[in-house]
């Protein structure tokens, strides 16, 4: 697959640099990386990683850029993000090519991911005129009490391979209008996408002029120690991390130890309840997209299905017939719906979970085998699997990042909710029902314990306008829309005395 070179920064000899700060390659001196395309296992590029000690340089440049950027009026910062959005629209197709190459996403989903970036640009532009505080009633005469929001400082973003552009964009576009420079540690699996994203910001910077310092956007590509360096640096007041629970825990501990802020979007183990009144036509479509889309490699992918006994066999039959005809293969082909897993490790994890489910009394309903014919050689392709279990067993408490969905029957709605909530993770959830009582119980305080709760939709594919994130082991963070922007700013409570007396709060008299 030819890499669209005009999108990427120049190479340093044979290698791409894994360190970009102040708009230039800054002599990365870490190990040499050769990421493989999930499509066919071929090397996508050679890249010299940044070393942990080089993170400090990117943070210094970002801190310097912050000194100016925080003083630029927010709507003008919005103008900068508008320019980025225009460039992304222009390069949508080529950016999507890079996502397909590096993450193995099918075309429609890769374009959808870039659309998510465009959407969040538009949201951020509007937001740039709405970073509002409050005026609060004060108990003192001739006083004024207001809350303001100010830029926070350089924001560290750690992201995963499966959303190599959008997750950074949620953080970066919002952070930029809030007045914060962004230092990004992307996955080592998807460096070209990250470099191309950074190019868009640099191009926008060049158009925008001096108000947008080049240090506003940095990329530091490297191993876990690079993320640790970012998490440890006191000059980075907020670290937003998306990925596994162990990674998030490590980041939170490092950031917490220095009393910084972390924003975590970690694993999901998402469930759906399908009730007797469900519209099975749309349920089957929603389940299929949520369970097999992105080859089951979204944090919002559907992994646990709780189906009422009265409709379990019908639903399983309908799902099986859809699963049997799923076009699996090269994600570049327009008809493919299921592309590759990211690599061999993902296949082993899926096989291990299938074996554990079998040992725990599960029956394989369909799928689970590696596909070797009709797919590009060198990639890891699998048939999405459904396993039926008599009860929710320990394997169902774990997130397996693959197209593997467990199904358990229920009789009472209370049991379904209890099983649904009985896992450590709490990202996304859904119910299919036409019963208004069930729907409201599920979205109510004693219903789903997740951050994302859907009725008659699947668990994946959230819009950018609302807050995105989840509870429990998912980490509690909220990114993207709604009031998530507040995390990228610091709040000041200002009390202004415009009188000539000095009344103290709480009526205290002090030496009068």
Of 163 and 184, CB closest to ligand UN1: 163
Eight-class DSSP state of 469: -
Under rule CB under 6 A, residue 270 binds ligand UN1: no
Of 178 and 464, CB closest to ligand UN1: 464
**Residue 139 beta carbon to ligand UN1: minimum distance, rounded to whole angstroms:** 45
Residue 494 falls in the annotated catalytic set = no
Q: Dihedral through CA 448, CA 450, CA 455, CA 461, nearest 10?
A: -160
Of 61 and 480, CB closest to ligand UN1: 480
Query: What residues from 307 to 346 belong to the interface with ligand UN1 (CB under 6 A)?
Result: none
**Residue 300 beta carbon to ligand UN1: minimum distance, rounded to whole angstroms:** 4
Q: CA angle, corner 441, sides to 435 and 442, nearest 5?
A: 90
**Residue 10 beta carbon to ligand UN1: minimum distance, rounded to whole angstroms:** 30
Under rule CB under 6 A, residue 303 binds ligand UN1: no
**Residue 238 beta carbon to ligand UN1: minimum distance, rounded to whole angstroms:** 18
Collect contacts of 198-203 with beta carbons under 8 A, ≥24 apart. 198/9, 198/20, 199/7, 199/8, 199/9, 200/84, 200/87, 200/88, 200/91, 200/95, 201/84, 201/172, 202/9, 202/23, 203/87
- Per residue, the 3-state secondary structure of 125-192, as one string, reads HHHCCCCCCEEECCCCCCEEEEEEEEECCCEEEECCCCCCCHHHHHHHHHHHHHCCCEEEECCCCCHH
Under rule CB under 6 A, residue 269 binds ligand UN1: no
Q: Which stretch binds ligand UN1 (CB under 6 A): 60-68, 297-305, 345-353, 491-499?
A: 297-305
**Residue 11 beta carbon to ligand UN1: minimum distance, rounded to whole angstroms:** 29
Structure tokens at 147: 């809350």
Of 417 and 427, CB closest to ligand UN1: 427
Which residue in 193, 300, 336, 433 binds ligand UN1 (CB under 6 A)? 300
**Residue 304 beta carbon to ligand UN1: minimum distance, rounded to whole angstroms:** 16
Q: Which stretch binds ligand UN1 (CB under 6 A): 225-233, 294-302, 320-328, 430-438?
A: 294-302
Query: What residues from 110 to 129 belong to the interface with ligand UN1 (CB under 6 A)?
Result: 116
State the catalytic residue, choosing from 265, 399, 409, 479. Answer: 265
The residues, any chain, with a CB within 8 Å of residue 120's CB and separated by 6 or more, are 166, 169, 170, 173, 174, 464, 480, 481
Q: In what order do the strands lie in the sheet with 47-48?
A: 16-17, 47-48, 32-33
Q: Which stretch binds ligand UN1 (CB under 6 A): 23-31, 140-148, 172-180, 293-301?
A: 293-301
Measured CA distances, 15 to 9, 112, 192 (Å): 11, 29, 11
Under DSSP, is residue 396 helix (H, G, I), strand (E, B) or coil? Answer: helix
Query: What residues from 449 to 488 belong to the interface with ligand UN1 (CB under 6 A)?
Result: 460-462
Using CB under 6 A as the criterion, what x/- string covers residues 225-254 for binding ligand UN1? -----------------x------------
State the catalytic residue, choosing from 45, 299, 366, 450. Answer: 299
Chain-centroid distance, C-alpha 374:
31
Which is it for strands 32-33 and 47-48: parallel, antiparallel or unpaired? antiparallel
Is residue 395 within 8 A of residue 334, CB to CB? The reply is: no
How buried is residue 357: exposed, middle or buried, by Cβ count under 10 Å (0-12/13-18/19+)? Answer: buried
Counting residues that bind ligand UN1 (by CB under 6 A) gives 11
In 3-state terms the chain splits into helix, strand, coil percentages (rounded to 5) of 40, 20, 40
Which residue in 20, 80, 163, 381 binds ligand UN1 (CB under 6 A)? 163
Residue 299 falls in the annotated catalytic set = yes
Which residue in 81, 299, 338, 430 binds ligand UN1 (CB under 6 A)? 299
Q: Of 130, 168, 123, 174, nearest to 149 (Cα)?
A: 130
Of 251 and 366, CB closest to ligand UN1: 251
Structure tokens at 117: 């970036």
**Residue 230 beta carbon to ligand UN1: minimum distance, rounded to whole angstroms:** 19
Under DSSP, is residue 198 helix (H, G, I), strand (E, B) or coil? Answer: helix
Of 64 and 249, CB closest to ligand UN1: 249
Under rule CB under 6 A, residue 44 binds ligand UN1: no
Of 390 and 424, CB closest to ligand UN1: 424
Of 282 and 505, CB closest to ligand UN1: 282
Which residue in 167, 172, 178, 286 binds ligand UN1 (CB under 6 A)? 167
Give the integer Cα–Cα distance in Å for 373 and 351. Answer: 19
Could you give the angle at which helices 92-103 and 107-127 cross, rounded to 10 degrees? Answer: 120
Of 103 and 177, CB closest to ligand UN1: 103
**Residue 453 beta carbon to ligand UN1: minimum distance, rounded to whole angstroms:** 13
Q: What is the contact surface with ligand UN1 in residues (CB under 6 A)? A: 116, 162-163, 167, 242, 298-300, 460-462
Task: Name the residues annotated as catalytic.
Answer: 265, 299
């Amino acid at each position: 697959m030819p890499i669209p070179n005009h999108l990427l920064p120049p190479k340093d000899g044979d290698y791409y640099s894994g360190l970009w700060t102040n708009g230039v390659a800054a002599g990365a001196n870490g190990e040499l990386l050769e990421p493989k395309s999930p499509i066919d296992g071929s090397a996508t590029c050679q890249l010299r990683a940044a070393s942990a000690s080089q993170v400090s340089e990117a943070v210094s440049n970002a801190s310097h850029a912050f000194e100016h950027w925080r003083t630029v009026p927010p709507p003008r910062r919005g103008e900068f993000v508008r320019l980025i959005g225009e460039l992304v629209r222009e390069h949508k197709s080529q950016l999507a090519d890079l996502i397909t190459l590096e993450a193995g996403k099918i075309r429609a989903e890769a374009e959808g991911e870039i659309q998510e970036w465009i959407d969040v640009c538009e949201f951020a532009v509007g937001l740039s005129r709405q970073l509002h505080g409050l005026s609060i009633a004060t108990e003192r005469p001739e006083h004024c009490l207001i809350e303001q929001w100010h830029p926070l400082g350089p924001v560290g973003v750690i992201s995963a391979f499966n959303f190599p552009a959008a997750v950074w964009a949620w953080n970066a576009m919002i952070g930029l209008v809030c007045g914060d420079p962004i230092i990004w540690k992307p996955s080592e699996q998807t460096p070209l996408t990250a470099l191309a994203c950074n190019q868009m910001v640099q191009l926008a910077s060049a158009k925008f002029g001096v108000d947008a310092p080049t240090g506003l956007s940095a990329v530091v590509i490297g191993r876990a120690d690079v993320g640790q360096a970012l998490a440890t640096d006191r000059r980075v007041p907020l670290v937003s991390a998306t990925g596994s629970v162990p990674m998030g825990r490590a980041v939170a501990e490092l950031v917490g130890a220095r009393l910084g802020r972390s924003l975590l979007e970690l694993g999901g183990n998402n469930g759906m309840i399908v009730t007797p009144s469900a519209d099975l036509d749309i349920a089957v479509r929603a389940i299929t997209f949520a369970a097999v889309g992105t080859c089951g490699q979204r944090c919002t992918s559907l992994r646990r299905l709780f189906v009422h006994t009265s409709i379990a066999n019908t639903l399983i039959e309908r799902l099986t017939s859809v699963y049997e005809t799923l076009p699996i293969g090269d994600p570049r082909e327009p008809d493919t719906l299921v592309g590759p897993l990211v690599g061999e490790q993902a296949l082993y994890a899926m096989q291990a979970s299938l074996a554990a489910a079998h040992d725990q009394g599960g029956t394989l309903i369909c799928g689970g085998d590696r596909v070797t014919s009709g797919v590009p050689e060198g990639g890891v392709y699998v048939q999405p699997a459904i396993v039926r279990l008599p009860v929710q067993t320990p394997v169902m408490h774990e997130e397996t990042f693959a197209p593997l969905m467990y199904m358990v029957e229920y009789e009472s709605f209370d049991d379904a909710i209890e099983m649904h909530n009985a896992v450590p993770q709490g990202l996304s959830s859904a119910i299919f029902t036409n019963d208004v009582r069930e729907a409201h119980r599920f979205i109510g305080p004693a219903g789903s314990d997740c951050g994302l709760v859907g009725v008659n939709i699947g668990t994946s594919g959230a819009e950018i306008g609302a807050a995105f994130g989840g509870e429990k082991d998912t980490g509690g963070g909220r990114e993207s829309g709604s009031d998530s922007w507040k995390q990228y700013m610091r709040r000041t409570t200002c009390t202004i005395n415009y009188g000539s007396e000095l009344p103290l709060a709480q009526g205290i008299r002090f030496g009068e």
